[in-house]
Amino acid sequence: MHDRTLGQGLTVSAIGLGCMTTTGGYSEHPDRAEMVAMVRGAVDLGVTFFDTAEIYGGHANEVLVGEALAPVRDQVVIATKFAEAIDPETHTVLGRRLLPDEVPAALDGSLRRLGVDAVDLYYQHRVNPDVPIEEYAGVLGDLIASGKTRHWGISEAAEQTIRRAHAVTPVTAIQSEYNLWWRRPEDGVLAACAELGIGFVPFSPLGKGVLTGTVTADTAFETADLRARIPRFAPDALAHNLALVEQVKGLAAEKGATPGQVALAWLLAQRPWIVPIPGTTKPHRLAENAAAADLVLTDAEVAALTAASDAVEIQGGRYPDELEAQTNL
């Protein structure tokens, strides 16, 4: 797999691995030993960029990722995130955002769970609307100077927030949802990244699975599956939204690829500093996603996919209202 460069010279594989679902999220908890083996096996496929967060699995995800990557630590880039105050004993979310002076202790906790001396990329997972972003940027600058993190980034941040943060401490990456059925980053964020030399890391690049072509209008989601609460996955909305997926499936058939690979290739074609991080719990999907880095779309094919996305007005929100309200977009 070829590499790409995010901001501040951070080099990673063109496609990374989002590790959230290895400790649950879209289903009941998968087998831990199998997930450790899968994460470790991603390196054999050329993946060098791994994404976790302290809130995933109530701290459990960082522990799993750290264990999986310990034998290959010098070959990989590990990203994790802070945002919420979490009880270190019970691992429960306390219902408030971390304040700037609490971030160093949160990073120390992540370092312990990951079993590393430094995190390669430390994201602010959600912007705190009650505290100026400049205060967090200053703290992250100090943490970079201390050597405990090498780079920092922000998730789900608006253009002006990015600009203000970057003016204090240069930002390496912005992580937000971006895919053929959610293109909000095109409204200013990608332009700011281009201007400031910041990389962009799309999470949910496959639209929480819908762009793989495996979700149908009849798909029923388990109660524990987040998609059961997402408006755009409600039956009526989903039946409408799948028109876009049919376009992706058609091109995939022509290319001898899967719909998911086409959706990832479309993202890679948008900018040379975009690095998607699809997540999975299935080794064959991991291999499929990694292979998408080698799928080249022509300019005409990219334009056709973009036009198909433009033509379908996606129905339903991408999150339940209470989760969408936590973003800074």
Q: H-helix or E-strand containing 89?
A: none
Helix H or strand E encompassing 151: none
Answer yes or no: 56 catalytic: yes
Beta bridge partners of 227: none
Contact 178, 307 (CB under 8 A): no
Q: Does residue 162 sit in helix, strand or coil?
A: helix
Angle between helices 299-311 and 235-255 (to 10 degrees): 170
Q: Over the Cα atoms of the chain, what is R_g?
A: 19
Give the amino acid at 89.
Answer: E
CA dist 295 and 266 (Å) reads 9
| Active-site residue, from 26, 56, 122, 178 | 56
> Do residues 96 and 84 make contact, with C-beta atoms less than 8 angstroms apart?
yes
Beta strands in 128-181 (DSSP E): 152-155, 173-177
Catalytic residue numbers read 56
